[in-house]
Amino acid sequence: MLRGLVASGPATLAELAAALGGHPNTTRVQLEQLVGGGFVTEVQRPVSGRGRPARTYGATVMGRQIALEDPDRGEHSPLVEAVAEYLAASPDPAAASLAVGRSWGRRLTESLGSGLVPVLAAEGFTPEETPDGIVLRTCPLLASAQLWPDVVCGMHQGLIDALSPELWDLEPFAVPGACLVRRRPDSCATPPPSRSTRAVG
């Protein structure tokens, strides 16, 4: 249901039941659970005609994140922590972190396709496009980032370097409770390996 709301946009209970092929009562129970968990919320739909409009529901930012992220990602957390610890002890943690992040990004492009925002969503960053840039509402490597922030944030910078031909800078907590990915003006080339690291949570 949650993935359906993300894919098709806001829908009424009747529309959801028809799309899912289940009984409306069953759909209502599932919908109430998603609303209670903060994954779905009631949204306003333009009124057409007379009468009270049917309640319409849409996925929240957290709901979109759950629907879009890779379900196998969490299984690799211990490995990521081990890699971060190893990189932190390397002779040049900043350069090594960027290199690992870029390698990560190239592999994701091969498996998930291109598109900075969709890939970041699949990896658990909860990206939200705004006039200032791409806001990252969550960090998929938060536990590791708290222990080795420069290393993990460097990996994130390298990841984005590899995912987009444009140049983006990651700014940690540039907005309340989130990080910002800001596009550099007139940038459309792949950054050189010597580019400095920016931290992001």
> Could you state, in order of their start, the residue ranges of all structural domains in the chain?
2-67, 69-183
pLDDT at 133: 94
Q: Does residue 197 register a pLDDT over 60?
A: no
The Cα–Cα gap between 55 and 89 comes to 55
Confidence (pTM): 0.60
Q: What is the pLDDT of residue 33?
A: 82
- Phi, psi values for residue 182, rounded to 5°: -110, 130
Please write the tens of the pLDDT for every residue from 69-100: 555 555 556 777 888 899 999 999 999 999 99
pLDDT for the residue numbered 113: 76
Which one of 3.30.70.1380, 1.10.340.30, 1.10.10.10, 1.10.3720.10 gives the CATH number of domain 2-67?
1.10.10.10
Query: What is the reported pLDDT for 198?
Result: 45
Residue 29, CB-side half-sphere exposure with 13 Å CA sphere: 4
- State the average pLDDT for the chain: 80
DSSP 8-state secondary structure symbol assigned to residue 165: S
What would the pLDDT profile of 104-117 be if each residue is shown by its tens digit?
A: 999 998 888 778 99
d(CA 189, CA 75): 34
Residues 6+ apart with CB under 8 A from 87: 93, 96, 97, 100, 148, 151, 155
For every residue of 79-121, DSSP letters joined together read HHHHHHHHHHTSS-HHHHHHHHHHHHHHHHHHHH-S-HHHHHH
